[in-house]
A and B are shown apart, each in its own frame.
Chain A
């Protein structure tokens, strides 16, 4: 017995060490995640780096001139057309995230505090339209807001208006309405999650200490759900800045956004470096705006105390 235990201690030890290393948590965990990680690295990080690189190059008819230049950024930031498009995209996405969050908060609150046994049913009910095709949802707004559309024909039929209104479709309001509808479910979920995390006795404590329902909401519930509001705002704001379908379908001339310009550079205009510079600029500005939003909401949260 002793012999087997002591037979080959040195060999045993090194093998055990190696086994221990191979069996260690970090190694196994990293090995397991590496295919997915590499996929994201090769198909997301690398491509974005390539875009960044392109933004410093120049399109030379069919070839790319790879000398470093900031010309694309100068065009992107100073040419009135791109500047306007950027501003409009930011304005639209800011409005959309404001409206989605404001509209979504009461629903999330209702489900979290009054949903009772049907919480998950409510959530399911609200998320299901989100899972239907984005393209189709945008299309249905076109059907509703169009010159011969549902709203116009309905209002005509009811005698409220005499001739179809052209003000409904093909402007930035149409884009804002459509996007607000399209992203609604996305805003509800994070707010709901943060409301669910709030300890209900805190609200009771606030009431016990003399706060009415509105004051206790403003002083306890709302500040504590700020993380949910932040992530809801970001999760709507970032993707909508780069939205392509909605402006194309319901935006008309007045509602064109930066994504349409980016697409044009990669398509008809065939100026990849300028398209890349526009993309990078969009990403940077979105990041800045997202950071500013976080700061503003945090400041508001502090004021509420």
Chain B
């Protein structure tokens, strides 16, 4: 009875929610659909199933180079930003000091700045310093925009952490480093892996900063951007895009599962306090 009434009360909202999810997913769904369509232009009606656009991908050296570059940039950026994120998240959640909020807002600022501003200002400085643009400069930019996300994931993981666990470890004779290795790290490991995956995904998909800060080497989004000029290359781009979508989806799902596991672990401990 109650369930029925509740459903009726939320009936309009449920319908709206359903339509909204369709609106969110529909555009994205077209990429995989047209990536297996045999016609060279994406239009209805579909002309037939084919995997040839996918088969062509590994035969494109420029694409393979871009994929490799993306992998290198993604790994470096995710590791660096997660390390910096761990330090900052730990400091924010564990210590109280003047200027804490201001520093936190500064670190989180790239989240709300237009990316183009971040990109051109870094570009200016790099050129002023006489550094040459390369994959390394892309990594620098990606780390900057990944840190806020890393911080968000990690502070959530660190926050529920019962401080007395570390005190207990020290009390039992363990050194500060030993405590970090034997207690803190295992406890927050899921959050750290989750942060790595999130940052890797962002770096893998990021275009603007890579576009401005790259030298001659392209990452996958830059490669795609270049291909968009040629209408004939579109199906191949759709196939590549579908693969990227799948990769992002997979990485984010794993990250989400790990994040929840981390939350459950720390919550369990806190829950027993009450």
- Report which A residues bind B (CB closer than 8 A): 25-26, 28-30, 32-33, 35-37, 39-41, 43-48, 50-51, 54, 103, 106-107, 109-111, 113-114, 120, 122, 124-126, 128-129, 131-137, 139-141, 143-144, 146, 148-150, 152-154, 157, 181, 184-185, 234-235, 238-245, 249, 259, 262-263, 266, 272, 275-276, 279, 282-283, 286
Contact = CB atoms under 8 A, between A and B. Distances in A.
A21 to B, nearest CB: 13
Contacts of B252: 128, 131
28 contacts: A25-B95, A25-B96, A29-B97, A37-B107, A39-B143, A39-B144, A41-B106, A43-B141, A44-B118, A106-B20, A107-B17, A113-B10, A114-B9, A122-B17, A126-B20, A131-B248, A132-B205, A132-B249, A133-B207, A135-B207, A136-B241, A136-B244, A139-B237, A143-B34, A157-B45, A242-B113, A244-B115, A266-B212
Nearest to A39: B84
A30 B238 CA distance: 47
A134 B205 contact: yes
Nearest to B85: A36
A272 B84 contact: no
B28 A140 contact: yes
B71 interface: no
A110 B256 contact: no
Given A133-B245, A150-B44, A152-B43, A276 B124 contact: yes
Interface in B82-120: 84-85, 87-88, 90-92, 94-100, 103, 106-107, 109-118, 120
A238 B112 contact: yes
Interface stretch (B54-62, B167-175, B220-228): B220-228
Interface in B202-251: 204-208, 212, 221, 224-225, 228, 237-238, 241, 244-245, 248-249
B42 A143 contact: yes
Given A131-B249, A133-B221, A259-B114, 10 more contacts: A30-B91, A39-B144, A44-B110, A50-B121, A106-B13, A129-B25, A133-B207, A134-B207, A141-B27, A259-B116
B43 A149 contact: yes
Given A50-B128, A143-B42, A242 B100 contact: no
B63 to A, nearest CB: 15
Contacts of B17: 106-107, 110-111, 122
B124 A272 contact: yes
A153 B43 contact: yes
User: Which of A132, A234, A262 has the most chain B CB within a 10 Å cutoff?
Assistant: A132
Nearest to B148: A40
B125 interface: yes
Contacts of B44: 150, 153-154, 157
A129 B43 contact: no
Given A50-B128, A181-B24, A279 B91 contact: no
B91 A33 contact: yes
Contacts of B122: 43, 47
A251 to B, nearest CB: 14
A36 B86 CA distance: 9
A175 to B, nearest CB: 14
A41 B147 CA distance: 13
A137 B95 contact: no
Contacts of B109: 40, 44
B123 interface: yes
A36 B87 contact: yes
A184 B27 CA distance: 13
A203 to B, nearest CB: 13
Contacts of A184: 20, 23-24
Nearest to A103: B20
Contacts of A54: 124
Given A36-B147, A106-B13, A263-B116, A133 B248 contact: yes
Contact of B27 (A48, A113, A120, A181): A181
A286 B109 CA distance: 14
A139 B220 CA distance: 14
B274 interface: no
Given A32-B90, A47-B124, A235 B112 contact: yes
A48 B144 CA distance: 13
B195 to A, nearest CB: 13
A132 B201 CA distance: 8
B108 to A, nearest CB: 9
Contacts of A106: 13, 16-17, 20
Contact of A282 (B114, B121, B225, B237): B114
Contacts of B212: 263, 266
A114 B6 contact: yes
B132 interface: no
B21 to A, nearest CB: 6
A109 B238 CA distance: 35
